[in-house]
Amino acid sequence: MRIDQLATGVVMFLTAVVSGAQQGEQTRPFYECGLYPEWSEFTAKQGADDIRAGMELAKVRLAKIRELKPEEANYENVFAAFESAPREMERVGGYLGTMASTMDSEELRRVQEKLLPEMTLFNASITSDEKLWGVIKSAASAPWVNQLSPEKKRYVQQVVDMFRDSGADLNAEQKARLAQILSELSTLTHKFDKNVLDATNSWQWVVSDPAQLAGMTEEWMQRAQSDAQKAGYGTPEEPKWLITLQEPSAREVIRCCDVEATRKKCWEALSSVGCKAPYDNAGIVARVMELRKEMAELLGFRTFADLTLAHRMAKNGQKAMNFVDDMMRKVKPAFDGEVTQLLDFISENKGNKTDKLNPWDTAYYMRKLAKERFSFDTELLRPYQECNHVLKGMFAIFEKLYSIRIEEQPVRYAGQDTPVSQDAVPVWHPEVRAFAVRDADSGVHLGSFFMDLFPRSTKRGGAWVQPLDYGEPATEERPHTPHLAVLVGNLSPATEGKPALFSHYDVETVFHEFGHMMHCMLGNTELRSHCGTSVTWDFVELPSQMNENWTWEPESVRTFATHYQTGECIPDDYLQKMQKMRFFFPAYEDMNQLCIAKLDMEMHTHYAEKFRGKELDAATRELLAPWKAPYSCETPSIMRTLTHCISGGYAAGYYSYKWSEVLAADVFTRFQKEGILNTDVGADYREQILSKGDSKPAEELYRNFMGRDPNPDALLQKQGLMQ
């Protein structure tokens, strides 16, 4: 049973920890699909049926553990049985989660709303079961535990910690209240997600006059015109252009459009998400924070941050807060200097002195300043960053480093009108691709993954990797069975007459997520619960953050950056200018991310003192005023839309992005010293970090690869903000 999913007591639809299997003669496609899911056979109703059947079967499985006598208990019938109980249902949870985030529908939403309370109560019943807890606690203290392998002993302690942190030692009244809290939280966080998606989809702007879009790239204009025609607006002879809040539409306008009124309108639309009825999330945020505070105190912790971080690298909320505050202090002088430079540049361009930033101007003038300072526009990189070239080059880099092969698989999908091979992999949309990963030396099939890279109205925003199923661990007789995961993004799509040409941010995004994917695919642990991205939350971003480095180094960039029409390799002067631009205004970007981490940590540590009874936006501005650039107007709190910290796994954990970025900057120094494509270093990184998952403490894995503890200033040194 996945420890990290129950440790905080927050149970979500996408990571439900329940179990199920075939019952009687009824067909259950969610359980019986083999390695590759038959997506066309999946329905929301079938998923709900399979989850409910799984809950009943899980009760039977857990009852077998509950009835064990102390002298009968051993690792296999207690801890191995507990770990394997949710196997089938973890699959269903992953499949349904992928459907909900890439194929949103009213039917899926209705099923979610009905299932969430049931699933929450079920999960709460596991750790509130006194008899089950008694067996586990007794077994954990038995002499035979000392004879177990280090990984199994680690798992035993993790199970014990999970039960205690989830309220196993509470009295009956306290357990009942905890179950109520968890049920309400699951409903609230689902509503939060729904509000963000619905508010995002509720706004669009059809532009008839191209003068309003002056400065937009040809690719963007073609895409917006195509989107408008698909939505029933305009014709090839009399075109119109559609702007939406789905990536990268409106944000590209704010970054590139020369018309301030157009930028402002798009910024106001983006800023309204989660702010206005019927999608206002402020009340949900307030209630979530109150419930998390109550839950933490009920479980014996001072704050929700302390509860969440008890078994992470940071250990407690104060240490994480100190990390964020320390970085903010170190970055602040450079941040102030960058803000002054930007204000001076805006004043010069507008012809009048300004001491405040319009939030719709910031990205635009920052891009313009970079273009002027370096005589280079990053849009020039797009022709050299065609989607297929980027993927092929990215695969080649990590095939070499990790001694693997990545092979694209033929796919099939519902409604396909072209012949397909018998071994085609089923996918949920024509744009989805499938790949298999094999060990280059042994040929063993390590895992497979799906890629769904482009925006649709049925997809939630952002980019992520979702493990769908970790394979059975290796035995003396056979290697581990293949893993399965999905990589989802919202990158720049193809336009009429042109393939998908990525911005450099798109390239960084796909490399970042592929770092997570390698963590999933190369996992090789004794226990499934420790595989891949099952690591502590403030270590999980290390592989992804580090992967971004290969999008900047000339040696690796040449692997994927070739002109989509001529095949010409990216010019050397482009590479040189990229290097110079890499850390343009680094303090500004650092501070923006640190402000989110600060807000997240303060809300989960000092909510009563700093937020209770106050308007969310005003309280956020008051908290972050010393660290933010001076703006010309009030801006809404990012917590209104921050799914990471409300419905995702980053509650009291957003600091881990910067924490992991520090680790990644430090780890990459070894590649820089010994060779960024050095196969010996790559093999060591695969062995010591990627393959080990959570089988050892993160600190130990780090020391095993680097030979020392982390350098806390590695990131700032890399950015040129510290010597």
pLDDT, residue 11, reads: 31
Amino acid 232: pLDDT: 94
Asked whether 302 and 565 are in contact (CB, 8 A), the reply is no
Reduced to 3 states (helix: H, G, I; strand: E, B; else coil), residue 203 is coil
Question: Tens digits of per-residue pLDDT, 211-236?
Answer: 999 999 988 999 899 999 999 999 99
The phi, psi pair for 207, rounded to 5°, reads -100, 130
pLDDT of 81-106, one tens digit each?
Answer: 999 887 777 778 788 889 989 998 88
pLDDT for the residue 46: 86
Looking at the chain, the whole-number percentage of residues with pLDDT higher than 90 is: 77
- Choice between 680 and 647, residue whose per-residue pLDDT is larger: 680
7-28 pLDDT, tens digit per residue, is: 333 333 323 322 223 333 456 7
Q: CA 552, CA 538: separation in Å to the nearest integer?
A: 24
Span 102-127, mean pLDDT? 84
Check residue 215 and give left, alpha or beta (phi > 0: left; psi -120 to 50: alpha).
left
Q: What is the pTM of this model?
A: 0.86
Dihedral of CA atoms 183, 186, 191, 192 in degrees, nearest 10, equals: 130
Confidence of residue 476 (pLDDT cuts 50, 70, 90): confident
- Provide CB contacts within 8 A for 467, sequence distance 6+: 94, 483, 484, 485, 520, 532, 533
Q: Could you tell me the CA-to-CA distances from 473 to 2, 476, 652 in Å, in that order? A: 15, 10, 32
Strand ranges across the sheet with 445-452: 404-409, 433-439, 445-452, 483-488, 464-469
| Structure tokens, 610 | 């700093």
pLDDT at 191 over 60: yes
Please give the angle made by the CA atoms of 351, 356 and 360, to the nearest 5 degrees: 85
Instruction: Name 684's Cβ contacts closer than 8 Å, sequence gap at least 6.
Output: 705
For the segment 29-39, what is each residue's pLDDT rounded down to a tens digit? 777 677 898 89
> How far apart, in Å, are the Cα atoms of 700 and each of 613, 680, 689, 704, 709?
44, 20, 10, 6, 9
Q: 81: closest CA among 141, 185, 24, 159?
A: 159
Please report, to the nearest 10 degrees, the dihedral formed by the alpha carbons of residues 494, 497, 503, 506 taken in order: 20
What is the per-residue pLDDT across 278-321, written as a single tens digit (0 to 9) for each? Answer: 999 999 999 999 999 999 999 999 999 999 999 999 999 999 99
pLDDT of residue 26: 56
Rounded CA separation 574/368 (Å) = 17
- Beta-carbon contacts of 288 under 8 Å, excluding residues fewer than 6 positions away, are 185, 188, 189, 192, 646
Q: Residue 162: name the closest of 1, 297, 290 by CA.
A: 1
Q: Packing angle between helix 387-402 and helix 504-521, nearest 10 degrees?
A: 40
What is the arithmetic mean of pLDDT over 469-480? 85
Residue 689 φ/ψ, nearest 5 degrees:
-115, -65
* Rounded Cα–Cα distance for residues 285 and 196 (Å): 13
| pLDDT at residue 592 is higher than 90 | yes
In eight-state DSSP terms, residue 686 is I
Pair of tokens at residue 424: 């085609």
Q: What angle do CA 431, 435, 407 make, to 5 degrees?
A: 125
Q: Which residue has the tokens 């009124």?
A: 261
Q: What H or E segment, with its residue span, contains residue 484?
A: strand 483-488
Alpha carbon distance 247, 264 (integer Å): 17
Q: Give 530's DSSP letter.
A: G
Helix residue ranges, H only, 351-487? 362-374, 387-402
pLDDT digit string, tens, across residues 442-463: 999 999 999 999 998 888 888 9
Distances (CA, A) of 78 to 145, 146, 318: 12, 15, 36
pLDDT given for residue 18 in this prediction: 28
pLDDT tens figures, 368-425: 999 999 998 888 999 999 999 999 999 999 999 999 999 999 999 988 888 888 889 9
Would you place residue 550 in the very low, low, confident or very high pLDDT band (cuts 50, 70, 90)?
Answer: very high
Bridge partners (DSSP) of residue 99 are none
What share of the chain in percent tops pLDDT 70?
96
Tokens linked to 577: 């200018």
Interior angle at CA 591, CA 515 and CA 637, nearest 5: 95
The predicted pLDDT at position 468 comes to 93
In angstroms, rounded to a whole number, what is the distance separating the alpha carbons of residues 258 and 247? Answer: 19
- Which of 396, 489, 483 is closest to 436 using CA atoms? 483
* Cα 637 from Cα 171, distance rounded (Å): 38
pLDDT of residue 27: 67
Alpha-carbon radius of gyration of the chain? 26
Look at residue 337 in the predicted model and tell me its pLDDT.
97
Q: Which of helix, strand or coil describes residue 422?
A: coil
8 A C-beta contact, residue 116 and residue 187: yes
The reply to whether omega before 455 is within 30° of 0 (cis) is: no
- Rounded CA-CA distance 130/416 in Å is 53
Could you give the C-alpha distances from 328 to 95, 321, 584, 638, 695, in angstroms and in order? 40, 11, 18, 18, 33
Position 723 pLDDT exceeds 90 = no
pLDDT at residue 51, rounded to an integer: 80
Q: What pLDDT, in 10s, does the model give residues 427-446?
A: 999 999 999 999 999 999 99
pLDDT value of position 19:
27
Say what the pLDDT of residue 697 is: 96
Task: Quote the mean pLDDT of the chain.
Answer: 91
Closest CA to 366 of 588, 597, 41: 588
- 491-543 pLDDT, tens digit per residue, is 999 988 899 999 999 999 999 999 999 999 999 999 999 999 999 989 999 99
Q: What is the per-residue pLDDT across 132-187, written as a single tens digit (0 to 9) for each?
A: 999 999 999 999 999 999 999 999 999 999 999 999 999 999 999 998 998 899 89
Domains located in the chain, CATH noted: 3-169 (1.20.1050.40), 203-271 (no CATH)
- H-helix or E-strand containing 715? helix 714-718
**Contact between 88 and 52 (Cβ < 8 Å):** no
On the question of pLDDT at 666 being above 90, the answer is: yes
Which tens digit of pLDDT belongs to each residue from 365-375?
Answer: 999 999 999 99
Residues in the chain, overall count = 723
Query: 473 falls in which pLDDT band (50, 70, 90)?
Result: confident
Residue 701 contacts by C-beta under 8 Å, 6 or more apart in sequence? 539, 688, 689, 692
- The Cβ of residue 340 has, within 10 Å, a number of other Cβ atoms equal to 12
